[in-house]
């Protein structure tokens, strides 16, 4: 056996696989002992011992403590096969341990790998000398990688799965964006700017609240960068995902107001008992506050830790009036009690129903029987209000369906086969009551009677487009975020 060549091979394996050379020497010694036991058909683990000099590569086999002059080549084919199998298995175990130890220390780091393939929806990628996977739940919706593509991701978890190490990657985890900010914004990496809270819907939008420990450093401005250079790099890495950077504030009211931007907030009422923030916005700000499919208010709620409820001034006032009327039906309670509850953030019969008897007894200084009766009245009224809201929603849906049907019929020119002007179509969509019938033989432009088409404003055009397209903004009737 060429001992020098064997040592060179061990050196190469130790270097390429990042395995301690002493471990490999120990593996070789154990493999030789296994081969000897196989050759002599013995089960005594203490009968044989092998030593290998790490410098010279000289190997010595002992039996019962006495040196054996028998060369390893004399053990035969079966013993040699045993030696090979033991070596391979122990090398694999050592490599697995090395990978697990290395990547366990790198959890939470951003790494760059190479995409290989998809298996059952999970992306398999190589990271350095290891193979890792990204489950579908940790992928950004809509992203697709081809073999050989560069993949920048977060090491989310490292698991010892018996025969192999499972390295879990993520691009959808909020921590991935936090690490990107540390890379792109030096102030974040140096802890001058602190990321206080994050809320993310991967692939669509992220809200991040930041603060600065240095009064001379503008936290929001530093994260955005000159002409948006810093935030642009992060957005590009996320393939266009929108990122809202919010200024952190210890005051929950100010933080919620910042989190709901770009919507302008008129009033915020906090109920600490329910962890609910009732936010009042003008009618023209409602869609902005709620956001597309409720996204803005949903992320704001997760960012601030409050259950955010968006209401218009009319809905807010109506809720207070309903609560006041309900309490006035209980002997011993008055409008003053309703005002005290409103000051505590309880602004509707739904809130009264949730807080329970003990809270009313404490805050209003009333007995249990009165509090119980107030809760019962509030529950009954809440049920009625809920039914009214459901009927209103059904009526709105019915009217919308009728408007869409009428709009499609007009725009398709059904009925007389003639063309319909955009102004006439918009007027019909908006339910114009004074829309005159088109005179026989007259052009659509003369349908107004005096040669003038009905006047349709830009707002009407926008509403018509919203009806036909279904609209981008989601509205709700004071539901929870």
DSSP codes of every residue in 257-308: HHHTTTSPP-EEEEETTTTEEEEE--GGGHHHHH-GGGHHHHHHHHHHTSEE
**Phi, psi values for residue 200, rounded to 5°:** -140, 140
Tell me the domain boundaries of the chain.
3-102, 106-172, 178-311, 313-393, 412-469
Among 171, 176, 182, smallest CA distance to 198 is for: 176
Q: Which residues, in sequence order, are bridge partners of residue 309?
A: 278, 480
The confidence score (pLDDT) of residue 415 equals 47
Q: What's domain 106-172's architecture? A: Beta Barrel (2.40)
CA dihedral 304, 306, 308, 314 (to 10 degrees): -110
**Ramachandran sector of residue 305 (left: φ over 0; alpha: ψ -120 to 50; beta: rest):** left
Give the integer Cα–Cα distance in Å for 301 and 256: 8
* Strands 122-127 vs 130-134: parallel, antiparallel or unpaired: antiparallel
Give the integer Cα–Cα distance in Å for 299 and 294: 9
* Residue pair 48/62 in contact by the 8 Å Cβ criterion: yes
- What value, to the nearest 5°, has the Cα angle with vertex 405 and ends 399 and 411? 130
Give the integer Cα–Cα distance in Å for 174 and 76: 59
Q: Which residues, in sequence order, are bridge partners of residue 155?
A: 169
- 3-state SS class at 465: helix
* Residue pair 364/337 in contact by the 8 Å Cβ criterion: yes
Pick among 2.30.30, 3.40.50, 2.60.120, 1.10.150: CATH of 313-393: 1.10.150
The confidence score (pLDDT) of residue 36 equals 80
- 3-state SS class at 247: strand
Written as six digits, the tokens of 423 are 């102004």
- Sequential pLDDT tens for the chain (481 residues): 556 677 777 777 777 777 777 778 787 778 878 888 777 777 776 778 888 777 777 777 778 777 877 776 667 777 778 777 877 787 888 888 888 988 999 999 999 999 999 999 999 999 988 899 999 999 999 999 999 999 999 999 999 887 789 999 999 999 999 999 999 999 999 999 999 999 999 999 999 999 999 989 999 999 999 999 999 999 999 999 999 999 999 999 999 999 999 899 999 999 999 999 999 999 999 999 999 989 999 999 999 999 999 999 999 999 999 999 999 888 888 888 999 999 999 999 999 889 889 989 988 888 999 999 999 999 999 999 999 989 988 998 899 898 888 888 887 765 444 455 555 555 555 554 444 444 333 444 444 444 444 444 555 555 545 544 444 443 434 444 4
Among 285, 282, 292, smallest CA distance to 263 is for: 285
Give the integer Cα–Cα distance in Å for 134 and 118: 9
Q: Which fold has domain 178-311?
A: GMP Synthetase; Chain A, domain 3 (3.30.300)
Looking at the domain that runs over 3-102, which CATH code has it been given?
3.30.1480.10
Model-level pTM? 0.70
- 3-state SS class at 376: helix
């Amino acid at each position: 056996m060429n001992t020098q060549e064997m040592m060179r091979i061990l050196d190469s394996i130790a270097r390429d696989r990042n395995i301690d050379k002493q471990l490999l020497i120990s593996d070789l010694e154990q493999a030789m002992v296994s081969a000897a036991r196989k050759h002599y058909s013995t089960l005594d683990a203490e009968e044989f011992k092998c030593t290998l000099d790490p410098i010279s590569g000289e190997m010595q086999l002992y039996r019962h403590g006495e040196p054996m002059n028998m060369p390893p080549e004399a053990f035969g084919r079966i013993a040699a096969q045993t030696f090979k199998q033991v070596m391979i298995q122990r090398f694999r175990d050592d490599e697995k341990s090395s990978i697990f130890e290395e990547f366990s220390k790198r959890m939470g780091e951003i790494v760059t790998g190479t995409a290989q393939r998809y298996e059952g929806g999970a992306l398999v990628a190589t990271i350095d000398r290891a193979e890792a996977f990204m489950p579908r739940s940790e992928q950004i919706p809509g992203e697709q990688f081809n073999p050989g593509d560069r993949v920048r991701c977060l090491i989310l978890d490292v698991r010892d799965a018996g025969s192999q190490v499972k390295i879990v990657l993520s691009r959808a985890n909020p921590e991935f964006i936090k690490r990107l900010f540390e890379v792109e914004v030096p102030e974040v990496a140096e802890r001058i700017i602190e990321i206080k809270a994050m809320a993310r819907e991967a692939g669509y939008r992220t809200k991040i609240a930041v603060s600065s420990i240095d009064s001379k450093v503008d936290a929001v401005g530093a994260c955005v960068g000159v002409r948006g250079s810093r935030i642009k790099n992060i957005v590009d890495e996320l393939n266009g995902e929108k990122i809202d950077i919010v200024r952190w504030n210890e005051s929950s009211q100010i933080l919620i107001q910042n989190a709901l931007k770009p919507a302008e907030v008129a009033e915020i009422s906090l109920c600490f008992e329910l962890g609910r923030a009732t936010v009042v916005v003008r009618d023209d700000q409602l869609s902005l506050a709620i956001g597309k499919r409720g996204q803005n208010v949903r992320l704001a709620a997760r960012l601030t830790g409050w259950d955010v409820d968006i209401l218009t001034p009319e809905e807010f006032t109506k809720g207070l009036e309903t609560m006041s009327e309900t309490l006035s039906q209980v002997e011993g309670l008055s409008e003053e009690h309703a005002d005290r509850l409103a000051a505590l953030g309880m602004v509707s019969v739904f809130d009264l129903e949730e807080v329970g008897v003990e809270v009313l007894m404490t805050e209003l200084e009333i007995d249990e029987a009165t509090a119980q009766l107030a809760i019962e009245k509030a529950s009954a009224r809440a049920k009625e209000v809920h039914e009214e809201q459901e009927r209103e929603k059904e009526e709105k849906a019915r009217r919308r369906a009728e408007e869409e049907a009428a709009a499609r019929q007009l725009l398709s020119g059904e009925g007389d086969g003639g063309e319909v002007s955009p102004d006439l179509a918009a007027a019909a969509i908006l339910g114009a009551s004074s829309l005159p019938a088109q005179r026989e033989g007259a052009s659509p432009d003369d349908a107004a009677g005096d040669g003038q088409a009905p006047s349709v404003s830009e707002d009407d055009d926008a509403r018509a487009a919203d009806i036909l397209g279904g609209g981008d903004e989601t509205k709700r009737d004071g539901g929870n975020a």
